Amino acid sequence: MNYSYVSHLYCPKCSKKYEADVVQNLCDCGSPLLVEYDLDSLKKDWKKSDLNGRENNLWRYHELLPVKDKNNVVSMGEGMTPLIEMQAIGNDMEIENLYMKDEGIIPTGTFKARGAAVGISKAKELGVKELAMPTNGNAGASWSLFAARAGISSTIVMPIDAPKITRNECAVSGANLYLVNGLISDAGKIVGEAVKEHGLYDVSTLKEPYRIEGKKTMGLEIVEQFNWEIPDVILYPTGGGVGLIGIYKALKELQALGWIDEEKMPRLVAVQSEGCAPIVKAWEKGKKESEFWNESETIAFGINVPKALGDFLVLNAVYETNGCAVSISDEAVLEEQKLLSQKEGTFVCPEGAAAFYAARQLRKNGWITEEEKVVVLNTGAGIKYPNTVEVDVQVLEKNESIQPANDRTAKKL
Ligand SMILES: Cc1ncc(COP(=O)(O)O)c(C=O)c1O
Ligand SMILES: [Zn+2]
């Protein structure tokens, strides 16, 4: 058996094929490229039971990942994050079977580690020495740290308003870091020019084909954790949409392998912010592509992407699964984040909170029914965004006393 069954790259727009053994970016037609595997051979060679006893991280699916030589794997144990039952918040929303896939405990604190682990490992295999990327923060943090582990140098450009901790993560990794007075789209233009001038490997969202492969492991894990049963709905906070495209691709591949029901797909929900909702707008109009969202703004920084290169792939996944796209206000995000901490003890990132609020809204309007099995992706840890919580706490003098949380007077009487 081969370590990987990768066969080639292909263009989802014009079907042109490309070799997977050399550095590739976009198709000549401008579309992102996707990775194809020799699924016929893999179907014969690979059984679900082969996973038994394998390492409990995303590399357990190495046959369906693009790295050919195990020695090129750059890993910090990422993946196989918990799928947690959310009974209290589920009761509150009247969803009986609500689960959270919690990406907050993965190395670097967000699911971006998955794309970085696979993307960097493949870059190492292809002999890349220097990469460049624009980022909303979390991806830059993951990629620069995994690059450091691989001995690859990185140039990162992020908006000045990106979460401060992600700036620090890039800096501490030794990345060549710049801040831009603008959005990720502005950072992207600056990186694009540097790539042209200096020949760096461009790992912008979907400009290299392997980040999706890392993120698709969320889909593989969800169904393995459900013992190869398909949930009814998966909600995903969507910026560039890589995770959603990845989950859809993972499920299609598992169908081709015969590992899951060939008919059933979960309804995929793209969740965005009211301050940046290009995919939602396109979906509402039944369009195949989105339009640039002017002056976008939201506290859910990771989903502040005014125009995604893979928008047509996100929309296709939503249409093909009878899913939908919804936008959430920042106010609702903060409310939901607080409620999740208080009812479930989980401090989720604002993007994750947006996806939970979307589940609440879709249950309220009947799009989700009470007994459906619903999975919400919490894409990162709340502690990466300390400024989303405002705290007003009493400071004590040394001789002052405190009161218990619960009033004891009733007991005393
Ligand atoms: C925490 C978090 N959630 C969601 C996203 C959106 O990811 P995607 O590009 O896969 O849509 C990001 C992207 O930066 C993020 O940092
Ligand atoms: Zn093409």
Ligand 1 near 204 CB (within 6 A): no
What residues are neighbours of ligand 2 (ion), with CB under 5 Å?
Answer: 11, 13-14, 16, 27, 29, 31
Q: How far apart are the first and last CA of the chain?
A: 74
Select from 248, 216, 224, 226 the least CA-distant residue to 374.
226
Q: Which residues contact 251 (CB under 8 A, 6 or more apart)?
A: 219, 223, 230, 260, 265, 266
Phi, psi of 285, deg, nearest 5: -95, 0
Ligand 1, residues 100, 112, 356: which to mutate, most atoms within 8 A of Cβ? 112
Model pLDDT, residue 236: 98
Q: What DSSP designation does 230 have? A: P
- Closest-CA residue, ligand 1 atom 7, reads 239
pLDDT band at 28 (very low <50, low <70, confident <90, very high): very high
C-alpha to C-alpha distance for 56 and 7, rounded to whole angstroms:
26
Taking only the tens place, the pLDDT of each residue in 377-392 is: 999 999 999 989 989 9
Burial (Cβ within 10 Å: 0-12, 13-18, ≥19) of residue 227: exposed
pLDDT digits (tens, 9 = 90+) for 206-242: 999 999 999 999 999 999 999 999 999 999 999 999 9
C-alpha span between 268 and 245 (Å, rounded): 10
17 alpha carbon – ligand 2 mean position (Å): 8
Largest CA distance in the chain: 80
Q: Are 338 and 62 in contact (CB under 8 A)?
A: no
The pLDDT tens digits of the residues spanning 264-323 come to 999 999 999 999 999 999 999 999 999 999 999 999 999 999 999 999 999 999 999 999
State residue 180's pLDDT score.
98
- Looking at the CA of 14, name the nearest ligand: 2
Backbone angles phi, psi at 326, to 5 degrees: -135, 150
Q: In terms of C-beta distances under 8 Å and separation of at least 24 residues, what long-range contacts does 395-398 make, across chains too?
A: none
Ligand 2 centre from 110 Cα, in Å?
31
Q: Collect all residues with Cβ–Cβ distance below 8 Å to 351 and sequence separation of at least 6.
A: 237, 239, 300, 301, 302, 303, 379, 380
Q: Ligand 1 pocket check: which of 106, 110, 135 to mutate, most ligand atoms within 8 Å of Cβ?
A: 110
Entry pTM: 0.96
Q: Give the integer Cα–Cα distance in Å for 251 and 259.
A: 9
CB-ligand 1 contact for 349 (6 Å cutoff): yes
Distance (Å, whole) CA 159 – CA 140:
11
Q: Closest Cα to residue 376, out of 412, 410, 337? A: 337
In angstroms, the CA 368 to CA 375 distance is 12
Residue 309 Cβ inside 6 Å of ligand 1? The answer reads no
Instruction: Tell me if 163 CB under 6 Å of ligand 1.
Output: no
